[in-house]
Amino acid sequence: MRAVTISEPGGIDALEVGELPDPTAGPGEVVLDVAASAVNRADLLQRQGFYPPPKGASEVLGLECSGVVAAVGDGVEDWKVGDEVCALLAGGGYGEKVAVPAGQVLPLPKGIDVVTAAALPEVACTVWSNVFMIAGLRADETLLVHGGAGGIGTIAIQLAKALGARVFTTAGSPEKLERCRELGADVAISYRDQDFVEVVKYETDGAGVDVILDNMGAKYLARNLDALATNGRLAIIGMQGGLKAELNIGKLLTKRGAITATSLRARPVEEKAAIVASVREHVWPLVEEGHVRPIVHAHVPLDDVREAHRLVEDGEQTGKVLLTI
């Protein structure tokens, strides 16, 4: 099969399209003919050699895809050859075929075509598991989403709004702030020109927000804690602002706050299957009813994978960049 390979970890020029052996369906797995994959920020790190795949996962980049079931392994009962699906992957999306545990496969939501569906699995699973399954955001609560115009942010805003929460978000340009408002954000804050703690405090009469979905890590830890309400929950999913920071435990304790941090990719197959099942039950109906739409910035053919990485590296996109195969 044709797939993206990496000559030496490094810059965009490290990405090549070459030939690799076709994957086979092991017990409990299906093989998909891939229609599209999506570029995730983690792919940029893996390309640079900083985010190796978990043990046993494909070395090929790509944490999600859509396509058609081409083969089923022993013990797979839920899927058959010819089904159109999308899937959460530990790797392997940037190729013509990929093997994936059957529990990580989702049907296409009704009304979503097979290419567009590649924009959903990673963001839906990440947002649903962190904001709702772990942080337990409720309808009468407030959520602050950092990076609201990103792949994660565009889904987090729509999901939280659809479920009745008041949504605050940060973004880096007037156009992206406007896009966040169109997606349902009640308060959109420029992370370049405004202090999000001040805005959150002002808008909540000093109370703070109940849940924060954070992509920045170290750089925002102290300010996130300041912006958090009593009994607030900070869900960290990214380290774009660094790995190490000092934490004022006294402040966390006084607020009776909680901080969690998770990586979806490294979770055991059973945990991923549980998240995927929960997404199918709770998120897919919202997509089918039109309350949550996959936001696609660009479709880039596999042969132009370098351009796809450049778009994400330069932060040009609103929503997802898809790689079409």
Q: What is the binding site for ligand NAP (CB under 6 A)? A: 40-42, 122, 126, 146-147, 149-153, 170-172, 176, 191, 215-216, 237-238, 240, 262-264, 312, 315, 317
Q: Which residues touch 102 (CB under 8 Å, ≥6 apart)?
A: 28, 29, 30, 72, 73, 76, 78, 79
Q: How far is the CB of 7 from ligand NAP (least distance, A)?
A: 24
Residue type at 289 in one-letter notation: E
Nearer to ligand NAP, 90 or 165 (CB): 90
Burial state string for 71-95 with b = 16 or more CB within 10 A and e = fewer than 16: bbbeebeebeeebbbbbbbbbbbbb
Strand partners, 43: none
Nearer to ligand NAP, 3 or 63 (CB): 63
Distance separating alpha carbons of residues 55 and 52, to the nearest angstrom = 9
Q: How far is the CB of 163 from ligand NAP (least distance, A)?
A: 19
Nearer to ligand NAP, 161 or 267 (CB): 267
SS3 helix, strand, coil % of the chain, rounded to 5?
35, 25, 40
Nearer to ligand NAP, 102 or 236 (CB): 236
Could you give the C-alpha distances from 4 to 125, 195, 281, 295, in angstroms and in order? 24, 41, 33, 24
Q: How far is the CB of 312 from ligand NAP (least distance, A)?
A: 5
Nearer to ligand NAP, 72 or 100 (CB): 100
Q: How far is the CB of 183 from ligand NAP (least distance, A)?
A: 12
Q: How far is the CB of 273 from ligand NAP (least distance, A)?
A: 16
Nearer to ligand NAP, 75 or 174 (CB): 174
Strand partners, 209: 228
Q: Which tokens is 43 given?
A: 């792919």
Nearer to ligand NAP, 28 or 315 (CB): 315
* Dihedral, 56, 58, 63, 65 alpha carbons, nearest 10: -120
Q: How far is the CB of 83 from ligand NAP (least distance, A)?
A: 25
Strand partners, 65: 37, 87
Is 159 within 8 Å of 183 (Cβ atoms)? no
Q: How far is the CB of 129 from ligand NAP (least distance, A)?
A: 8
If you write DSSP's letter for every residue of 112-156 in order, what string do you get?
A: --TTGGGGSHHHHHHHIIIIIIIS---TTSEEEESSTTSHHHHHH
Is 141 within 8 Å of 165 (Cβ atoms)? yes
Nearer to ligand NAP, 58 or 215 (CB): 215
Q: How far is the CB of 157 from ligand NAP (least distance, A)?
A: 11
